């Protein structure tokens, strides 16, 4: 996905790339003296998008997740700041709204649907608390993200000197395309990327139609939607056709025509950073650990599994 996107974008004249994600490329820590240190995010999303950052003019918009993140943003008066070559803008959200957006709607509701992990027909139970989290959390945070992005690029759009591409990332920000289109109209190119599986129409039946159709129609306010696999992209096309009466594919597996606009749904598989892994393999510490493992197993076979402790992903 990244290499394909870069080669296409490099043909434009110095485009402005806006990446929007829940977790940003840096986390901040404040010392007792009030100084700030930063550490590079090690998540898969940050790694996957590193190539864009290295070769293009990127503005990264992300949530301020910790109190130190918020303090850093406040110290800089919530302005865009350059951190190690990345222009960074942090979104400061209300604690309760963020909890509802992240811990009730994004995780686990949407994540479990997309991984087909709900115990249907018993779960999920869409009660008043879920509806409240949808309205006051998920919708509110997505609207806030879109407003921050719009405010950050308006001056650039007025110049009309270069194209602006906006890449909302993953299931946390499915409503950002809708709000961006309302704020900025057709002057920006919007391409969200879905990093997790997109199941077929049956899996989405567990959501009330108002929620489900709002999510799908918002994504269709984009110009193109990226997925990990062709199956995910085709499943999205099927969902749009099945749930939105005025969405049509006209036989295509990778595009939907909706409200007079043709929206692409395509696969851009994300790879690991092969060069970085090769560098790690050659490091002395890696060789030391390799020797320790070889001495430990001797003539036996070793089956190694590594997981992170993540209750929402069913690993305890």
Q: Per DSSP, which regions of 171-254 are E strands? A: 189-190, 193-194, 224-227, 247-248
The per-residue pLDDT string of the chain (316 residues; one tens digit each, 9 = 90 and over) reads: 444 555 566 566 789 999 999 999 998 999 888 888 888 775 667 777 777 777 788 999 999 999 999 999 999 888 999 998 889 999 999 999 999 999 999 998 999 999 999 988 889 999 999 999 999 999 999 999 999 999 999 999 999 889 999 999 999 999 999 999 999 999 999 999 999 999 999 999 999 999 999 999 999 999 999 999 999 999 999 999 999 999 999 999 999 999 999 999 999 988 767 777 888 899 999 999 999 999 999 999 989 887 766 656 555 5
Which pLDDT does position 43 carry in this prediction? 64
Which pLDDT does position 1 carry in this prediction? 47
Q: Per DSSP, which regions of 52-182 are E strands? A: 57-63, 81-83, 86-91, 164-168
Which pLDDT does position 189 carry in this prediction? 96
Which pLDDT does position 305 carry in this prediction? 82
What kind and span of H or E run contains 263?
strand 261-267
What are the pLDDT digits (tens) for 8-34? 665 667 899 999 999 999 989 998 888
Is 50:26 a contact under the CB 8 Å cutoff?
no
Cα-based distances in Å from 26 to 9, 21, 84, 106, 293:
24, 12, 10, 21, 33
Which pLDDT does position 254 carry in this prediction? 97
Strand bridging mode 247-248 / 255-258? antiparallel
DSSP string, 64-84: --SHHHHHHHHHTTT--EEET
Determine what percent of the chain is predicted with pLDDT higher than 70. 91
- What's the pTM value of the predicted model, to 2 decimals? 0.88
Indicate the DSSP class of residue 174: T
Peptide bond into 124 cis (omega under 30): yes
> Which residue ranges make up each domain of the chain?
2-94+137-267, 274-313
The CATH code belonging to domain 2-94+137-267 is 3.40.50.2000
- CA–CA separation, 266 vs 171, rounded Å? 16
């Amino acid at each position: 996905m990244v290499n394909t996107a870069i080669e296409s974008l490099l043909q434009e004249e110095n485009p402005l790339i806006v990446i929007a994600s829940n977790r940003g490329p840096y986390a901040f820590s404040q010392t007792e003296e009030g100084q700030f240190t930063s550490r590079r995010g090690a998540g898969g999303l940050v790694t996957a998008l590193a190539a864009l950052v290295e070769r293009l003019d990127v503005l990264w918009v992300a949530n301020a997740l910790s109190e130190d993140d918020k303090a850093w943003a406040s110290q800089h008066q919530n302005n865009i700041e350059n951190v190690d070559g990345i222009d960074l803008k942090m979104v400061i959200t209300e604690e309760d709204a963020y909890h509802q957006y992240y811990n009730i709607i994004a995780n686990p509701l949407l994540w479990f649907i997309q991984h087909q992990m709900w115990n249907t027909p018993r779960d999920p139970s869409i009660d008043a608390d879920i509806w409240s989290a949808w309205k006051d959390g998920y919708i509110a945070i997505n609207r806030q993200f879109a407003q921050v992005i719009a405010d950050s690029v308006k001056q650039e759009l007025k110049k009309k000197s270069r194209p602006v591409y906006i890449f909302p990332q993953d299931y946390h920000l499915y409503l950002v395309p809708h709000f961006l289109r309302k704020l900025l109209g057709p002057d920006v190119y919007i391409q969200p990327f879905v990093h997790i599986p997109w199941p077929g129409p049956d899996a989405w039946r567990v959501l009330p139609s108002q929620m489900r159709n709002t999510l799908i129609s918002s994504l269709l306010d984009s110009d193109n939607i990226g997925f990990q696999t062709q199956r995910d992209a085709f499943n999205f096309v099927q969902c749009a056709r099945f749930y939105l009466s005025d969405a049509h594919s006209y036989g295509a597996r990778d595009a939907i025509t909706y409200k007079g606009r043709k929206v692409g749904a395509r696969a851009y598989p994300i790879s690991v950073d092969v060069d970085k892994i090769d560098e790690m393999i050659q490091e002395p510490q890696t060789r030391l650990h390799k020797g320790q493992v070889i001495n430990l197993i001797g003539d036996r076979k070793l089956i190694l599994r590594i997981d992170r402790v993540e209750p929402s992903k069913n690993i305890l």
